Structure 1
Amino acid sequence: MQSPEDKEIAIQQKIIDIVEALQAVAKPLWVGLVATLILAYPFSLMLKYTLSQVLITTYSPLPLVYVAPIPEDLRILDQNIFSPDKDRYFAFARVANPNSDLAVRILNFKFVLRDRKGESVRTYSGSTYILPDQDKLIFMPLVTVSGDPVTVDVSLEPERWSRFTAKETLDLRFENTNFGQEGNQFFASGILRNESPFTIKEIEIDVILYDIQQNIIGVNFTTVNEVQRHDGRFFRVVWPSGIEGSAVSNIEFRPSVNQLEQDVLGTESSGSGQR
């Protein structure tokens, strides 16, 4: 067994052998080796730069392909005109959006009132919106017509379809609803209660009158603004002469909130309303 001193001597001898072997190498070979090491670094930089330039010049980004939505057509479920008195008419259409994830941000519409000959006697154009799966009313306000319209044509032109899947479920309830005749005017009223966890900037309220056969015989609408959460807001709509209270069998109130509009739903309550 070798002693520590013998091991140390053996290591020193190996080192001496290695040094003598290196010394035996020719000097030109040493010079070539050093030169190779010196030249290799700038060559590697040049090669790296050349390769990077080739990659940059040959790179072609993937094209961004916009896939336009292909919606089902909007459906007109009902339409009609009404005349509260001589030469004045208003009209409505009930429109349904059968698409569950597509909304129309700008929905242009046009009413054309026609006489018995089929000729146009008055037109009215407007725009609105419609949410996914929404059943919505559109209106032509009361206008004076010189002819004698008997039918109405309604055309729809969706201008901006967009995907909309962030629709909030709103808890909007109607309480203390009432309707009836006051003199020669018909009215409908109630309290709209917002039990949603949001303050709502604007709520549209459509009011629909039905006869005993459930035919629509009158429509109207109003809006209420800045409805706080857990707030109750009173509203009232009035029809001019032409609606007979005895003909009204049932009344329907429909709330609608344009959730496509930015900041229409808030989370802060700044006041308290009717409870």
Structure 2
Amino acid sequence: MVMQILNNFLENKYQKKQTIIIAIFLAIFLLFIFVMYSWLRPTQTCSDGKQNQNEEGVDCGGVCGKKCEVKVITEVTVLESGFVPSGVVNSYDVYARIANPNNVFGSSGFQYEFTLKDSAGQIIATKKGSNYMLPGETKYVVENNLVTDQTPDSVEFVATNSTWVEFKDQYEKPRLKVVNKQYNPISSGVGFSEVLGLLKNESPFDFSLISLKIILKDSADKVVALNLTEMRTVKSGENRDFRAVWFSRFLGEVLNVEVQAEANVFDSESFTTKNFVPATYRGTDYR
């Protein structure tokens, strides 16, 4: 009986010792494998065709100097377009209401073209220009005086060659407010009618140039007249009156006045505050 207990004890002790030795050898083997893998593994670089290190994409972003190509969700969208007589013989004003569906991308510049067509779809006049858009913005693009001796039937607006800017951080849209808008027929003096209003620059920046687009609409929300004007050197906190005049008669009863005030935040020359850094509004450029 005593001998059996002693034999069992020695056997269990031997098995435990054997298990410990196996575990030690296994640990040494795994350590050897890890060391060999670390030694033989290729060095992670910005040209190894893999997304590693702290890269934002394959061999770009993070520690790599190359910027990752970011695809914009949607190009500038045209919501509506139209034309109205300018008041000058054989001349028309055109407009397009456009939207930027991208909430983190703005366009620091894009090219556009208005095309007037006759009832047969033939091009009778064109006008090109350039513009910009902030993330998620909806705005009007207006051009005056497209000249043609033919009667237009439709207008087409096309935007191309956008340069997109990614707004990674919070940005502040220029706080330009238009209040006290009034539309008045001119009963005496020069002109047919006018729009008066007050522009309030509530931004912390001085702007060297602010453009105003005035859209007049009737009771059916149809555009009946367009106008453009500008303001120069508008100080932060400044309130300034403006006036836009239509010198020629146009058709339609005006019941709604829209005024779009904007400053190009992508152009450093639009700002006059000396300590302003344009990067406050900027992100990363992509073409």
1:158, distance to aligned residue in structure 2 (A): 3.3
Show the counterpart of 2:196. 189
1:176, distance to aligned residue in structure 2 (A): 3.3
Uncovered stretches (5+) of structure 1, i.e. residues with no partner: 1-57, 270-275
1:261, distance to aligned residue in structure 2 (A): 1.5
Give yes or no for the alignment of 1:214 onto 2:221. yes
Give yes or no for the alignment of 1:247 onto 2:231. no
Uncovered stretches (5+) of structure 2, i.e. residues with no partner: 1-41, 48-58, 61-66, 276-287
1:241 alignment partner, SS class: coil
Q: In the alignment, residue 82 of structure 1 is paired with which amino acid?
A: V
Out of 127, 134, 150, the residue aligned to residue 131 of structure 1 is 134
Give the whole-Å Cα distance in 2 for the aligned partners of 1:60 and 1:174.
Answer: 56
TM (normalized to structure 2)? 0.66
RMSD: 2.4
The C-alpha deviation readout for 1:9-38, integer Å capped at 9, x for no partner, is xxxxxxxxxxxxxxxxxxxxxxxxxxxxxx
Rg larger for? 1
Which 4+ stretches in 1 moved above 4 angstroms? 58-61, 265-269
Out of 230, 242, 245, the residue aligned to residue 235 of structure 1 is 242
Q: In the alignment, residue 73 of structure 1 is paired with which amino acid?
A: E
Q: Tell whether the 8 Å contact from 2:233 to 2:272 is kept in structure 1 after alignment.
A: no
Give the whole-Å Cα distance in 1 for the aligned partners of 2:81 and 2:249.
Answer: 18
1:171, distance to aligned residue in structure 2 (A): 3.1
Show the counterpart of 1:177. 181
Give the whole-Å Cα distance in 2 for the aligned partners of 1:146 and 1:157.
Answer: 28
Q: Tell whether the 8 Å contact from 2:198 to 2:242 is kept in structure 1 after alignment.
A: yes
Identical counterparts, % of pairs? 24
TM (normalized to structure 1)? 0.69
Q: In the alignment, residue 250 of structure 1 is paired with which amino acid?
A: N
Q: In the alignment, residue 78 of structure 2 is paired with which amino acid?
A: I
Give the whole-Å Cα distance in 1 for the aligned partners of 2:253 and 2:273.
Answer: 43
1:172, distance to aligned residue in structure 2 (A): 2.5
1:239, distance to aligned residue in structure 2 (A): 2.2
Give the whole-Å Cα distance in 2 for the aligned partners of 1:73 and 1:143.
Answer: 26
| Alpha-carbon distance change, 263 to 213 in structure 1, aligned in 2, over 3 angstroms | same
Q: In the alignment, residue 171 of structure 2 is paired with which amino acid?
A: K
1:232, distance to aligned residue in structure 2 (A): 1.2
Show the counterpart of 1:108. 111
2:268 alignment partner, SS class: coil
Bigger Cα displacement from structure 2, 124-133 vs 59-68: 59-68
Q: In the alignment, residue 239 of structure 1 is paired with which amino acid?
A: W
Q: In the alignment, residue 144 of structure 1 is paired with which amino acid?
A: V
| Alpha-carbon distance change, 175 to 140 in structure 1, aligned in 2, over 3 angstroms | closer
User: Alignment length, in residue pairs?
Assistant: 211
1:107 alignment partner, SS class: strand
Give the whole-Å Cα distance in 2 for the aligned partners of 1:263 and 1:140.
Answer: 23
